């Protein structure tokens, strides 16, 4: 949902990794064992507020209603290779963005291992009857 007084919003399709069990100091080799599944999000940025490069752009990405996630979670068993997925963004029936997770700068196991060194991603429990 577009916030009031915003003219230009930028969008990016992103892969979301759903953590299935609490991850603390996880090795890269074991990282995918902590994944429950995957979903997508739309990573919006409000370009009206783009500020100086050296300042945190809190207003650009940290507004209510930005970065909607889901609505479905697929189990990791249904995704043989999360580094071989296509992400597309469609706006009013027009393809605006398309990319692949093969182009990720950092691998998913690396990111889980890295983040779990200084934060503890908590498990996301979900009812498998509600989600695909």
Spell out the domain ranges in the chain. Answer: 9-118
Q: What is 9-118's CATH number, 3.40.640.10, 3.40.920.10, 3.90.850.10, 3.30.70.120?
A: 3.90.850.10
Phi first, then psi: give them for residue 10, nearest 5 degrees: -105, 145
Mean pLDDT of the chain: 85
Rounded to two decimals, the pTM is 0.80
Q: 39, 19 in Cβ contact below 8 A?
A: no
Residue 76 clears pLDDT 60, i.e. is over it: yes
Token pair, residue 100, equals 């692949």
The distance from CA 63 to its chain's CA centroid, rounded to whole angstroms, is 16
52 — pLDDT class (breaks 50, 70, 90): low
Residue 120 clears pLDDT 60, i.e. is over it: yes
d(Cα 3, Cα 65) in Å, to the nearest integer?
Answer: 8
Q: Are strands 35-42 and 86-91 parallel, antiparallel or unpaired?
A: unpaired
**DSSP code string of 59-95:** HHH-STT-S-B-S--EEGGG-S-TTS-EEEEEETTEE
Q: 88, 101 in Cβ contact below 8 A?
A: no
128 — pLDDT class (breaks 50, 70, 90): very low
């Amino acid at each position: 949902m577009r916030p009031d007084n915003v003219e230009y919003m930028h969008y990016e399709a992103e892969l979301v990794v759903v953590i299935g069990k609490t991850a603390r100091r996880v090795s890269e080799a074991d990282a995918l064992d902590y994944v429950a599944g995957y979903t997508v999000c739309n990573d919006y940025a409000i370009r009206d507020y783009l500020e100086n490069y050296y300042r945190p752009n809190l207003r650009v990405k940290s507004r209510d209603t930005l970065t909607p996630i889901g609505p479905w979670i697929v189990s990791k068993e249904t995704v043989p290779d999360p580094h071989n997925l296509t992400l597309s963004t469609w706006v009013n029936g027009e393809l605006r963005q398309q990319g692949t997770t093969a182009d990720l700068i950092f691998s998913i196991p690396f990111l889980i291992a890295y983040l779990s060194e200084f934060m503890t991603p908590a498990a996301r429990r979900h009812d498998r009857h509600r989600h695909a």
